[in-house]
Amino acid sequence: MWHSFVQWFASVIQFMYGITDSLGVANYGLAIIFMTIVIKIVLFPITHKQLKSMRAMQEIQPRMKYIQDKYKDDPQTMQLKVMELYKEHGVNPLGGCLPLLIQMPIFIAFYQSLFNFKFAVEEHARFLWIPNIGSSDPWYILAVLAAATTFIQQRVSMVDTKDPTQKSMLYVMPLFMAWIAATMPAGLPLYWVTFNILGILQQLYINWSSNKAKLATATATATATGTGTGVQLEMEKETLEESSGGHNTLTEEKVAGREKGGKKVNGSPNSRKKREKTWMRLLKRPWMNWNVQLRMFLLKYWKNPVKEY
């Protein structure tokens, strides 16, 4: 059955070559590019869902870590909260597995079909600088392109660039793909590079639509009262308590300001300097006695001014 699938794959390559021949640009490299575009279009709904699920999983990682730390002594509650988080954001933790399972047989079949491939016209197996797409790239240009496009695709799909796991994969996977591209028939890395370029464009579109949706949600939330629900409110509350050291910082600042004299605004150093200058200016007026000057000062700056009598 697998052998039949590989043979069918080789016949599809020949069919795409026939299309390029009918267009007057007969070339097996172009046939592979056209075939890659067709595969990407067929897999678009699945890969689109995969990329969205992967990005959503990365976005909720801080909240998931918060839940795991908070309920580490209660695994049952932790699982319940995590599932609620998945449901709230519409995330399927296994959503990224199915597209990879579908792409792997295509990748392997592509690799096997290029070995001992019978080109209708041997000269048409030449593509750009590559003498024959059935053999490896002698200049390793496709290996560099495979590594670069893999790096860019992973980079644009990352949400948290400081995550050590994602950061390590960001550099390991491109090197691995460069090694594969350097040792395999050139048609395979050509397929991979084309597929990556289309994937980068798709990921950029997902990022743009995701940021647009976030902006719309943030705008709607800003106009509503009582914003924030669930885990997000708990996180914000605990963060506020930790930053204030368990005390109400705003109340303490107000009290400190009153102890220094008057309201919080009047308790600042600038306000004290202003009062001192005003006091010295009043004392320099010879036609006013000391009691009148003091009363005027208290009426103007003190919280509970002395009443006239």
The pLDDT-based confidence of 302 (bands split at 50, 70, 90) is low
Contact yes or no for 187/17 (Cβ under 8 A): no
- pTM (whole model) above 0.95: no
| Most confidently modeled range among 79-83, 142-146, 225-229, 264-268 | 142-146
Q: Between 234 and 47, where is the model more confident?
A: 47
Does the structure show a pLDDT above 60 at 82?
A: yes
Contacts of residue 6, defined as CB under 8 A and 6 or more positions apart, other chains included, come to: 109, 112, 113
Which of these ranges, 137-141, 254-258, 274-278, has the smallest mean pLDDT? 254-258
Q: What is the pLDDT of residue 37?
A: 94
How many angstroms separate the CA atoms of 208 and 112, rounded? 37
The CA-atom distances, in angstroms, between 292 and each of 21, 266, 282, 289, 296 are 105, 22, 10, 6, 6
- Joined together, the tokens standing for residue 194 give 């084309």
Q: Which has the closest alpha carbon to 108: 5, 222, 242?
A: 5
Does the structure show a pLDDT above 90 at 34?
A: yes
- Joined together, the tokens standing for residue 263 give 């309201």
Mean pLDDT of 83-89: 81
Q: Is 279 helix (H, G, I), strand (E, B) or coil?
A: helix
Mean residue pLDDT across the chain: 75
Q: What is the pLDDT of residue 198?
A: 92
Mean pLDDT of 84-104: 71
The pLDDT-based confidence of 169 (bands split at 50, 70, 90) is confident
CA angle in degrees (0–180, nearest 5) for 155-157-162: 60
